[in-house]
Homo-oligomer: A and B are copies of this chain.
């Protein structure tokens, strides 16, 4: 991987912890670039998630399938986001999620053992992963609150305002299942908005 390609990743790291040049290089040495084709899975149920992936280019979707066979989107990830099956990766237990590429993508992966080594080796790497976990917890909690306090239409409006790029790039049915509604209902919500604008 060239310096140019991974510039966004370096920025990402330094925005969270002010690493030195050497530290960044050490960190980087543990990541491997991987190209993933559209529709390819990087995580599947039953298998333990061995990597945490940073998206350099492309888009992913994590979802579970419930007892009734319905898909429910748990997370999206586009450029500059991380994705994995959080529970599976952190506790090294079998995954319950699928994580699939929505587009041809390029990711940077670190594996679980390397992450442990890094965290053990230097305080600052530990700090970095602590910050990642905190942000993740805060994000999830905002989502819980949104689920509890808002109607389907409000959840869509909030999401569309906050993450317009994601709304543009992911299929409707995936977005609907992320927001906790059917694709038909989301279609109706959007259509209602269209009419208002004209």
Q: Does A142 contact B (CB under 8 A)?
A: yes
Contact B147 A147 (CB under 8 A): yes
Q: Does A74 contact B (CB under 8 A)?
A: yes
Q: Does A123 contact B (CB under 8 A)?
A: yes
Q: Which residue of B lies closest to A126 (CB)?
A: B126
Query: Contacts A144-B147, A145-B64, A147-B147; is A134 near B74 (CB within 8 Å)?
Result: no
Cβ contacts under 8 Å, A126 to chain B:
123, 126-127, 130
Q: Does A31 contact B (CB under 8 A)?
A: no
Q: Is the interface of A mostly helix, strand, loop or mixed?
A: helix
A124 to chain B, nearest CB (A): 9
Q: How far is the CA of A133 from the CA of B135 in the complex (A)?
A: 9
Cβ contacts under 8 Å, A133 to chain B:
130, 133-134, 136-137
Contact B66 A141 (CB under 8 A): no
Q: How far is the CA of A147 from the CA of B149 in the complex (A)?
A: 12
Give the contacting residue for A130; candidates B66, B86, B119, B143; CB below 8 A: B119
Q: Could you name 25 residue pairs across A and B whose Cβ atoms are closer than 8 Å?
A: A64-B145, A64-B149, A66-B149, A67-B149, A72-B145, A72-B149, A74-B144, A74-B148, A87-B141, A87-B142, A90-B138, A119-B127, A123-B123, A126-B126, A126-B130, A129-B130, A130-B133, A133-B137, A136-B137, A137-B137, A137-B140, A144-B147, A147-B148, A147-B180, A148-B180
Given contacts A72-B149, A74-B148, 16 further A-B contacts (CB under 8 A): A70-B149, A74-B141, A74-B144, A74-B145, A86-B137, A86-B141, A87-B138, A123-B123, A126-B130, A129-B130, A130-B133, A140-B140, A140-B141, A140-B143, A144-B144, A144-B147
